[in-house]
Amino acid sequence: MTEILNGEKIKYLEEKAKTIRISIIEMLAEAGSGHTAGSLGMADVFSLLYFHVLKHDPKNPTDENRDRLVLSNGHICPVLYSSMAHAGYFPIEELQTFRKFGSRLQGHPHREFLSLLETSSGPLGEGLSQAVGMALALRMDGKDNSVVCLTGDGELDEGQVWEAVMQAGKEKLGKLIAIVDRNNIQIDGSTDMVMPLEPLTEKFESFNWDVYEVNGNDLEAVNEAIRESEFVTDKPSVIIAHTISGKGVKEIEGDYHWHGKAPSKDEAEKFIVELSR
Amino acid sequence: MLNPKLFDTDVAMKSTRDGFSDGLLLAADENPNVVGLCADLTESVKMDAFKKKYPKRFIEMGIAEQSMASVASGMAAIGKIPFMASYAVFSPGRNWEQIRTTICYNNANVKIIGSHGGVTVGEDGGSHQALEDIALARVLPNMTVIVPCDAIEAKKATLAASRTNKPFYIRLSRTKTPVITVEETPFEIGKSSVVYSSDNAGVGIVATGTLLYNALVAAKELKESGISVSVLYLPTIKPLDTEGLLDFAKKCSGKIVSVEEHQVHGGMGSALAEFYAENYPVSMEFIGVKDQFGQSGKPEELIKHYGLDKDAIIEAVKKILKR
């Protein structure tokens, strides 16, 4: 059972989110390419997952009793790598190798390079199916680990996502939690313009999902949704997390042009000053 | 060692998909981690016996081959040995990128079973006759590709695949075909075998899948007309049995006819050509479908129409001999 956040814990998680964000900017600037907006936007969710919600042990990464985290929108891996490093899975300095030849931290996550990952990802729409497979297999084995799958919102354009949504509802996968990064941007513009998703809550509900719609940059709100979802054991849960892309750096917040762009070294310096406040 | 009744008119007939059914049961009996996934074709791809015996280890996916590949990958990540079955047109056709990314890129222990390979699907027509699946599968890193020649081989290949920890593609046929081998015939992943041997063979025929039968009949007829050929059965298209292939070409005067129920482009013959061109240049003829789609008809009509019958093989042998 996930615990309620008290003031002290919130402060701790906010600090972690700040550190995760600073590392994201540092690694992206060093790499010279990569996805800034979504990575910053999801830093609060990652802080909450890695430092509060997930049952996991960086000292024993293959522990079969760990919860599984599947990052379906692999392009926001800077936030994954940064969170893993700060949680102790690998040295923080290794983040500087991101996207470089020979690095374990590939441009999109590749488990053959970094075995600490639950899966490889990048091509969109495939993570939820894998999470469904994990949840089915864990249930067959009588295990009660959670499987958390993070997806983008633009990613929901992919038909395969809805194949998985349909099956998860059918199979009543109560230990599956999907978190949709609802930041309203995708490469070609706003999700409303490219391919409208609304009414999204109703879509998931009609597939027999337990649905929460919250401010994804509000640690307490996301935590409360996760806590509530844990009482629902006969349905998969989805948290539609409204986030602000680029969160923490005012001049790029909500700007879809920053989806796949990295800050220059000068910009990074400026952004880090702002994030450090 | 082959079926002694091979060339008799009453040779036993059984489809390779039925052989898969037998093999999956053996694999499931042996290892509780073996699970089955199917996309609304359970009876047709012969996963029904497994489903009946192990209902809790069977996942009905609905008509969702793309998700099936990734669900299987997720199950493999927890330690299951998923066998996912559909028609080859849909898997690895429809879901090729899911297989690439979530299975092969992860090196996930998933066994992909593609039934209804080739034109012998028959009356359903070209849309359902997979002629590109070997190419799709063999181009993927980490993938092993097997095309068994009969039901017994399909059973053995299924069981052998379940004992490995790697992605596999096994291609099956819908129609009943002659049982070529016997239970005692050795099967090993990655090994070919000379199944028809002639001294001083002027040509070597390399066949995969159920067309091996036509190759053997052709070899026999050729011998009767005074032309000596040998036949190599190549069930594993990837990884290639390079040693066996090299030895075979040397013993067969450097003339090779490839035989497969697949597009010539990208199939087993292409794999042979890639290997031989680099290591032991040979002259080749390719028996296969030549850049066309299939159509409706009886399997034997289609085999003849697309030039996959024993007469076409005999012709190819004669042609290459003149070169």
Same domain, B66 and B160: yes
Q: Report helix, strand or coil for A213.
A: strand
Query: Quick check: A140 and B56 CB within 8 A?
Result: yes
Q: Is residue B265 part of a domain?
A: yes
Dist CA A238 CA A244 (whole Å) = 18
Query: Quick check: B102 and A163 CB within 8 A?
Result: no
Residue reference for tokens 């590109």: B132
Q: Which of B143, B178, B213 is the last residue of a domain?
A: B178
Q: Structural domain of residue B77, as residue ranges?
A: 13-178
The whole-angstrom distance between A106's CA and the closest CA on chain B is: 13
Dist CA B208 CA B148 (whole Å) = 7
- Is residue A50 predicted with pLDDT exceeding 90? yes
Q: Is B65 a catalytic residue?
A: yes
Q: Which of B123, B154, B178 is the last residue of a domain?
A: B178
Kindly tell me the sign of the dihedral angle through the C-alpha atoms of A117, A122, A123, A128: positive
Q: Are B167 and B227 in contact (CB under 8 A)?
A: no
Same domain, B90 and B173: yes
Residues 51-80 of B with CB under 8 A from A: 56-57, 59, 61-62, 64, 66-80
Q: Are B237 and B206 in contact (CB under 8 A)?
A: no
Question: What CATH number is associated with residue B102?
Answer: 3.40.50.970
Same domain, B215 and B171: no
pLDDT of B125: 97
Query: Quick check: B73 and A111 CB within 8 A?
Result: no
Residues of A with CB below 8 A from B80's CB? Answer: 137, 140
Same domain, B275 and B146: no
Chain A residue whose CA is closest to B80: A137
> For A219-244, how does the pLDDT look when each residue is reduced to its tens digit (9 = 90+)?
999 999 999 999 999 999 999 999 99
Q: Is residue B46 part of a domain?
A: yes
pLDDT of B285: 98
User: Chain-wide mean pLDDT for chain A?
Assistant: 97
Query: Quick check: B35 and A118 CB within 8 A?
Result: no
pLDDT of A112: 95
Listed as ranges, residues in chain B with pLDDT below 50 are none
Tell me how many residue pairs between chain A and chain B have CB atoms under 8 A apart. Answer: 101
Q: What is the mean pLDDT of residues A10-35?
A: 98
Could you say which of B30, B43, B60, B65 is catalytic?
B65
Q: Are A21 and A40 in contact (CB under 8 A)?
A: yes
Chain B residue whose CA is closest to A160: B67
pLDDT of B1: 84
Same domain, B174 and B255: no
Q: Is residue B316 part of a domain?
A: yes
Report the run of H or E that residue B34 belongs to, with start and end: strand B34-38
Residues 197-256 of A with CB under 8 A from B: none
Same domain, B171 and B201: no
> For A173-206, how does the pLDDT look when each residue is reduced to its tens digit (9 = 90+)?
999 999 999 999 999 999 999 999 999 999 999 9
pLDDT of B135: 98
Same domain, B54 and B115: yes
Same domain, B278 and B143: no
Q: Which of B152, B178, B204 is the last residue of a domain?
A: B178
Same domain, B210 and B80: no
- Is residue A94 predicted with pLDDT exceeding 90? yes
Same domain, B200 and B168: no
Same domain, B124 and B215: no
What ipTM describes this predicted complex?
A: 0.96
pLDDT of B257: 98
Q: What is the mean pLDDT of residues A7-29?
A: 98
Residues 154-193 of A with CB under 8 A from B: 159-160, 163-164, 166-167
Closest CA to B257 of B320, B307, B164: B320
Same domain, B54 and B105: yes
**Distance, CA of A75 to chain centre:** 10
Residues of B with CB below 8 A from A70's CB? Answer: 74
pTM: 0.97
Q: What residues contact B66, with CB distance under 8 A and at least 6 apart?
A: A129, A159, A160, A163, B94, B95, B98
Chain A residue whose CA is closest to B68: A129
Q: Is residue B216 part of a domain?
A: yes
pLDDT of B183: 97
pLDDT of A109: 98
Q: Is residue B82 part of a domain?
A: yes
pLDDT of B36: 98
Domain tally for chain B? 2
Catalogue all structural domains in chain A, each as residue range(s) with its CATH number: 7-276 (3.40.50.970)
How many CA atoms, within 13 angstroms, populate the side-chain half-sphere of residue B244? 22
Chain A residue whose CA is closest to B79: A137
pLDDT of B310: 98
Residues of B with CB below 8 A from A164's CB? Answer: 67, 70-71
Query: Quick check: B74 and A132 CB within 8 A?
Result: yes
Dist CA B260 CA A142 (whole Å) = 45
Query: Quick check: A167 and B71 CB within 8 A?
Result: yes
Q: Are A85 and A92 in contact (CB under 8 A)?
A: yes
Question: What CATH number is associated with residue B270?
Answer: 3.40.50.920
Query: Quick check: B77 and A68 CB within 8 A?
Result: yes
Tell me the two tokens of residue A164. Answer: 């998985």
Query: Quick check: A130 and B59 CB within 8 A?
Result: no
Span between the terminal Cα atoms of chain A, in Å: 33
Q: Is residue B156 part of a domain?
A: yes
**A136 CB within 8 Å of a chain B CB:** yes
Q: Is residue B8 part of a domain?
A: no
Q: Is residue B205 part of a domain?
A: yes
Torsion of CA A96, A100, A104, A108, to 10 degrees: 100
